[in-house]
Structure 1
Amino acid sequence: MKILIAPWGWPGMYKKSRYKFNANEPLTSNTSTGVLKKLLDPDHTILIFPDSLAVYNPQSYNAQTYEDLVNSLKDFLFEHYVSNPAWMPDFNQKKDSMLISPNVGTFVDKDTKRRLNIEGKLSDYYYWIFYNLSCLILNIALNSKDITLILDTSHGINFMSYLTFSALYNIGAALELLRHENVKLKIYNADPYVEVAKYLEINLVRELTPKIQLIKKHETGKFLPFNADMEKFSDRGKFQKLSKEISEIFRQYEKTYSDVFLPFLGSFSQGVVNGIVHFFPEDSSEIENKVCDIFNSN
């Protein structure tokens, strides 16, 4: 199962270029994502756009709610860019996905002088994209044991590429831990656009296997509840005692209760993420809906 994910900025600025990928002949496209889709033939493609692009969509200014703004922007982007083979070949709305993500700042359309001010925090993007990509990937790869997440960072604006990578890494690590799936993450980035260039190379930046480090064995041989250096603690004796006690407990219960004990210890180093996913109730739909309502209303 191959899933192609690409954060995009304003596609209206993307110019036609010749992209070269591996040993293939260069292909002409307005985006490297379009070339990767054509040559890698992913099972599913996910395009991520910031909601700030609403500044370029006249219909967005008639929106009464944020949901209306998102839907109007999604229709606008699909009609003018995503459905256009010059930007994205063979985008199938039934199989592929478009996400409109939260952005922060003041944005201006230079042609119309329209302004759009969006308040919030950059962390909103990470939480939003982590949740939505998790839902999509779980649904797409429901019965797959081998998943390759392909991230094209060529067109994402500033923070989008890094935070999308962070979200995908943690999603992949959670899938590997909780569902024992074989997950690979590949990151691609094209050469910067230069008008006189013969072609732009699409480069493999990194290929890795996402992993959650549940506990770390210190150089002393003792298991620590979080990734830390004992020298940083003022009460070193107390910390050493705690480390010794945890190591003893781990040795006693390693085989019998490792499925509970490891996520619990890991929750210290991973900001309680592992603890939550392990002890969360199976039917969490009511909690999930409430969290989404609060997020969207703010």
Structure 2
Amino acid sequence: MRSASTLYRLEKRWSLVFIALPVIGFFTFTISAMVFSFWFSLTDFNPVRMETRYVGLENFRRLFADALFRQAVFNTFFLLISVPIGMFFGLLLSVYLQQKGAKNYALRLLYYLPAVSSVVAINIIFRYLFNGEFGLLNHLLNIDVQWLGTGRWPIKFAIIIRNVWAAMGVAMVLYLAGLNNIPASYYEAADIDGASIFQKFFMITVPLVRPISFFLIVTGIIAGMQNFADAQLLANGNPQGITVVYYIWVRGIDANRYGVASAASILLGAIIMLMTYVQFRRSSWVEVR
């Protein structure tokens, strides 16, 4: 029989092998891609002639001088409003489902369905819902709003509504898991003290699900900053609805301006990392006391 020390060394070697695989993949496909992207952001690469000309920070200057890029940045940040709204409705939905009891699996499945549905199919359906001529939303509300038109705000609010609807399911599932871990004695003690429903919600439920809220905020902002499908499919390239990632594709890769696309990618990555860093540095509110 092998000694305990031999088995430990063997287990340690195999653990290093399994750890090495994702680390090698990360450096090969992520770090190397970031390095090449940074290099391309400083060049004017011609894919036809396969020529690379160093231009320094010229691509970054072109970005900030481009009104469409500034519009894309504004749109990307404005559309992040859907993150806290989706979290709030997801929390309300999870509280409702918990009060309904355990026999609500059909409702949970129904509300979670958008999270596992095709993004392409969802955006196509919402294009019909928001259609200005025969859209269901205008018909039900008896209004005449060109949601998909060239107006500055309607397309933004259309994307926000779609994103809130799609984000509620994920928030609901995570918040349900958190609510199930809150001791019922907290609510019983609150009932004895005569606390109202709103007091129990804001003084017990909301503080005790802060870690889940923090996770949803961080991941929601990261995903929102990389939004592409809404600008491509729902906004259909409408300048009032484009995002930075869509700009990278249209004004960069699709136009063979790889230097501009790389510069925009570097800026986007830096903004995402900075926002994530700030959120973690300001995460003291997550601690439950």
**Shorter chain as normaliser: what TM range?**
under 0.3
Q: Which structure would you say has the larger Rg?
A: 2
TM-score (norm 2): 0.22
**Higher RCO structure (Cα 8 Å, ≥6 apart):** 2
Greater share of residues in strand: 1
